[in-house]
Copies of this chain bind each other. A is one copy, B any other.
Amino acid sequence: MSTVHQATWGLLRALGVRKVFGNPGSTEMPFLADFPDDIDYVLGLHEGSVVGMADVYAQLTGEPTLVNLHTAVGLGNAMGAIINAASAHSPLVITAGQQVRATLTMQPLLANPDPTMLPRPAVKWAFEPPRAQDVPAALARAFRYAALPPAGPVFVSLPMDDFEQPAEADTTELLAARRLTGRSVPAPVELNALAKRLAAARNPVLVVGAGLDAAPGGFEAGVALAERQNLPVWLAPNASRVGFPTDHAHFRGSLPAGIAWLSESLAGHDLILVAGAPVFQYYPYAPGSYLGPGAELVAITDDPDAAARAPLGDALVADPALALQGLLELLPQTNRSAPLALTPLKIPPAVDTLTASQVYDIVGPLFGHDGIVVTESMNGAAAMWDRMKFRRSGSFFFCAAGGLGFAVPGAVGAQLARPARPVLAVSGDGGAQYGIQGLYTAASRRLPVTFLVLVNREYGILKGFGDYLTTTGVPGLDLDYLDYEALAKAYGIPAVRTGRADELAVAVKEAFAAANGPHMIIVDVAPGVPLGG
């Protein structure tokens, strides 16, 4: 008779698991024992980094991705990263070990005393199988549910003594053979009505979000619809992915995130079509009209909660890519005139110290057509959007819930998912601290990630917020010098530090050309991060 261990790994293999992202503890050892040769265990040295890697890996592959953490304390360490993953609708199957069932009632050391409560509210579902024999079915349920729209993390607690128990009659074949889909199109009557509204609109606009990039074919459908209907296209505020090529003549930029600022940016449009974004990820609080005079808004999202909570507009809950493809079948070429390409942003030249904007001015042209950026930095954002061109799906990832510690491990996950594409991580000297252990995995696996660290010795974005909020006298916004050359060395990563444009260009070229491991480029930049800029 087979054991729960054998049944579990048989199921995981049948479900197509190729990688497990983890940080082990004693309570995980029975699960991890006799680890299969054909599955890759990706070790991270802190649970935040483990989940950060898995998050972007899952977003890029679109596959439910298995994470294994250490009981309560390890799961706790990961909660910030899980909140980012939840906001990104990342299909993570998070597991953690649990103490021996016979000991749980007296709560020994390393118990997870309330395992289904701890990961909430960041997971869609949290479960501890009632019996050892239910572990495979619970994991099958977790894999299916994580992937069904709206995708997101789920959690399964795995008591450590379950794996030596005898399995029940094998249902692996039945469980693995199931084909589930939640991708749906709007009802024809609704899609027809939307097509008519769009055709009849005088000056419509498309706003695309992370969900369009995540939906297969969404990126291409957005381009086709924008060209068919001559729509200008904005990126939703604080979008965690880019659902439209930013070198396209129709691209207008990333919408500002204040309520008043956003509606001013869309002034004059009579119909705002939002695809794959909540309406909206506002912040900071800049009160004003949600919608300009005479404007209407229709959002397409696969997230019922996002649809319900929006303070304005209609919504179709469906797959945004399929919905746009449906619209394309219904709409002819418009006779509206096409939007003109924007004039490139003027970036003032360096005075003494480089600005983040100048960094993007230098890095952008070197970035190529195939690169992936994983960023948590808001410094020089306007220049980033202008100079860095994201030309295909899966090219840009931002911490979806605003949680720092995302870029360093996220870039590692991106490189694991897309070994052939250049991957650039962008962090500030403050932000990189929250996920610094991700460097280890990049170095250990010789992944050719380029880690760009913009050093301004402050939490610059907070000072920018402080100007907006008119707060003064806030402590903790200035940082002592953090020696990132030494940090890179600690993890075995070659690093270059510079404050000069020419040296930066050389370093970036070399790092992008390298295929034999990670590089860090440390740039001393001027302080001051203007809000939204």
* Chain A residues near B (Cβ < 8 Å): 22-26, 29-30, 32-35, 41, 43, 45-48, 72-84, 99-100, 102-103, 105-110, 113-114, 117-118, 120-122, 161, 237-238, 257, 278, 281-285, 287, 309-311, 399, 401-405, 430, 433-434, 436-437, 440, 443-444, 459, 461-462, 465-466, 469, 471-477, 479-484, 486-487, 489-492
Interface contact A434-B109, CB-CB below 8 Å: no
Interface contact A103-B282, CB-CB below 8 Å: yes
Q: A172 → chain B, closest Cβ, in Å?
A: 21
Interface contact B29-A466, CB-CB below 8 Å: yes
- Smallest CB-CB separation from A42: which chain B residue? B476
Interface contact A473-B34, CB-CB below 8 Å: yes
- Smallest CB-CB separation from A116: which chain B residue? B121
Which residues of chain B have C-beta atoms less than 8 A from A285's C-beta? 99-100, 102-103, 108, 161
Which of the listed residues A35, A80, A484 has the most CB atoms from chain B within 10 Å of its own CB? A80
Q: Which of B80, B257, B284, B436 contacts A74 (CB 8 A)?
A: B80
Interface contact A282-B108, CB-CB below 8 Å: yes
Q: Which of B103, B430, B465 contacts A45 (CB 8 A)?
A: B430
Q: Which of B109, B282, B491 contacts A283 (CB 8 A)?
A: B109
Which residues of chain B have C-beta atoms less than 8 A from A487's C-beta? 486-487, 490
Q: A12 → chain B, closest Cβ, in Å?
A: 14
Jot down 22 A-B pairs with beta carbons below 8 A, ordered by A. Answer: A22-B475, A24-B462, A26-B284, A33-B472, A34-B471, A43-B475, A45-B479, A46-B434, A48-B77, A74-B80, A76-B83, A77-B80, A77-B405, A102-B287, A108-B283, A110-B283, A110-B402, A117-B121, A440-B482, A481-B492, A482-B490, A482-B491
Interface contact B238-A476, CB-CB below 8 Å: no
Docked pose: A33 CA to B465 CA in angstroms: 12
The 3 A-B pairs of least Cβ separation, nearest first, read A73-B403, A76-B80, A77-B80
Which residues of chain B have C-beta atoms less than 8 A from A82's C-beta? 76
On whether A490 and B480 interact (CB within 8 A), knowing A48-B77, A108-B283, A404-B73, the answer reads: no
Interface contact B440-A476, CB-CB below 8 Å: no
Interface contact B121-A113, CB-CB below 8 Å: yes
Docked pose: A82 CA to B399 CA in angstroms: 23
Interface contact A437-B443, CB-CB below 8 Å: no
Interface contact A32-B76, CB-CB below 8 Å: no
Docked pose: A469 CA to B474 CA in angstroms: 51
Q: A48 → chain B, closest Cβ, in Å?
A: 6
Docked pose: A477 CA to B102 CA in angstroms: 27
On whether A402 and B73 interact (CB within 8 A), knowing A121-B114, A434-B46, the answer reads: yes
Known contacts A32-B475, A72-B403, A107-B278, then 6 further A-B pairs from the complex at CB < 8 Å, ordered by chain A residue? A29-B462, A73-B84, A76-B79, A109-B238, A109-B282, A113-B121
Docked pose: A269 CA to B58 CA in angstroms: 57
Docked pose: A257 CA to B109 CA in angstroms: 9
On whether A120 and B122 interact (CB within 8 A), knowing A29-B469, A77-B80, A109-B257, the answer reads: no
Which residues of chain B have C-beta atoms less than 8 A from A107's C-beta? 278, 309
Which residues of chain B have C-beta atoms less than 8 A from A237's C-beta? 109
Docked pose: A498 CA to B43 CA in angstroms: 27
Docked pose: A491 CA to B315 CA in angstroms: 50
Q: Which of B32, B440, B489 contacts A486 (CB 8 A)?
A: B489
Interface contact A475-B105, CB-CB below 8 Å: no
Which residues of chain B have C-beta atoms less than 8 A from A309's C-beta? 105-107
Which of the listed residues A29, A117, A483 has the most CB atoms from chain B within 10 Å of its own CB? A29
Docked pose: A285 CA to B162 CA in angstroms: 13
Interface contact B120-A114, CB-CB below 8 Å: yes
Which residues of chain B have C-beta atoms less than 8 A from A25's C-beta? 462
Docked pose: A73 CA to B287 CA in angstroms: 24
Docked pose: A344 CA to B108 CA in angstroms: 30
On whether A29 and B102 interact (CB within 8 A), knowing A72-B401, A482-B491, the answer reads: no
On whether A76 and B81 interact (CB within 8 A), knowing A105-B309, A487-B486, the answer reads: yes
Q: Which of B33, B47, B283 contacts A99 (CB 8 A)?
A: B283
Which residues of chain B have C-beta atoms less than 8 A from A405's C-beta? 46, 77
Q: Which of B24, B105, B287, B401 contacts A311 (CB 8 A)?
A: B105
Interface contact A433-B475, CB-CB below 8 Å: no
Interface contact A106-B311, CB-CB below 8 Å: yes
Which residues of chain B have C-beta atoms less than 8 A from A461's C-beta? 26
Docked pose: A437 CA to B432 CA in angstroms: 11
Q: A442 → chain B, closest Cβ, in Å?
A: 11
Which residues of chain B have C-beta atoms less than 8 A from A48's C-beta? 77
Docked pose: A184 CA to B484 CA in angstroms: 52
- Smallest CB-CB separation from A432: which chain B residue? B45
Which residues of chain B have C-beta atoms less than 8 A from A29's C-beta? 462, 465-466, 469, 471, 474
